Amino acid sequence: MLTRHFRNILYIKIRESRLIVKSLKTGKVAVDEPILAMEANGKTRVLAVGARARKLEGGNAAIIANGFSHTRSIIDDPRVAQKTLHYFVRHVHPHSPMRLRPLAVVHPLERVEGGLTQLEACTLRDLALRAGAKRACVWVGQELPDEEILANKYPTLSGELHFPLK
């Protein structure tokens, strides 16, 4: 697909303690804890993300949450995870009416033993779409070099690709 060469591709690597979003077009990277601080009054207004959110912990003005911290799955709270991911995506790919929405490769790096269920894969893909991606795939396997993602070549002998980007 020709537009693939002009569109930005985001490589999103998810761990409970670290979220990395990298723009393969610009090389810009956002790396931080996937921690979100929201107003304590029940509203969903975001106060801070990452290390800045951690500093608000213990105060009664904010609720601190990690949407990627669950004992059995990489996703705990999809609403919190989506707001966190949206912040990271906007950091590396600011919104503009003239800018094409990016493609995304979502790569969970923890709690994937035995592969992902279809529900988990759909949830991860949906997170990327709600965070601003035009299309998203989910990769489970070894970390990928930028060249493989840009060439749309995934080593399926050592991993599993859900919802391939066309």
Domains of the chain and CATH, by start: 3-33+73-162 (3.30.420)
Residue 163's pLDDT band, with cuts at 50, 70 and 90, is very high
Q: Which of 139, 136, 137 is nearest to 112 (CA)?
A: 139
User: What is the average pLDDT across 56-67?
Assistant: 82
* Residue 21, helix vs strand vs coil: strand
Please, what is the average pLDDT of the chain?
Answer: 88
Question: Would you state the structure tokens that stand for residue 133, as one six-digit string?
Answer: 């991606």
Question: Would you state the structure tokens that stand for residue 46, as one six-digit string?
Answer: 């975001």
Q: What is the pLDDT of residues 102-138, one digit of tens each?
A: 999 999 999 988 889 999 999 999 999 999 999 999 9
Q: Which parts of the chain are beta strand (E)?
A: 9-14, 19-23, 29-32, 35-39, 46-49, 62-66, 103-108, 135-141, 159-162
Handedness of CA 163, 133, 23, 118 (dihedral sign): negative
Residues 108 and 10: their CA atoms lie apart, in Å, by 14
Residues 65 and 36: their CA atoms lie apart, in Å, by 5
pTM, full prediction = 0.90
User: What is the average pLDDT across 92-96?
Assistant: 81
Q: Is the pLDDT of residue 70 over 70?
A: yes
Give me the pLDDT at residue 3, please.
Answer: 45
Residues 11 and 41: their CA atoms lie apart, in Å, by 34
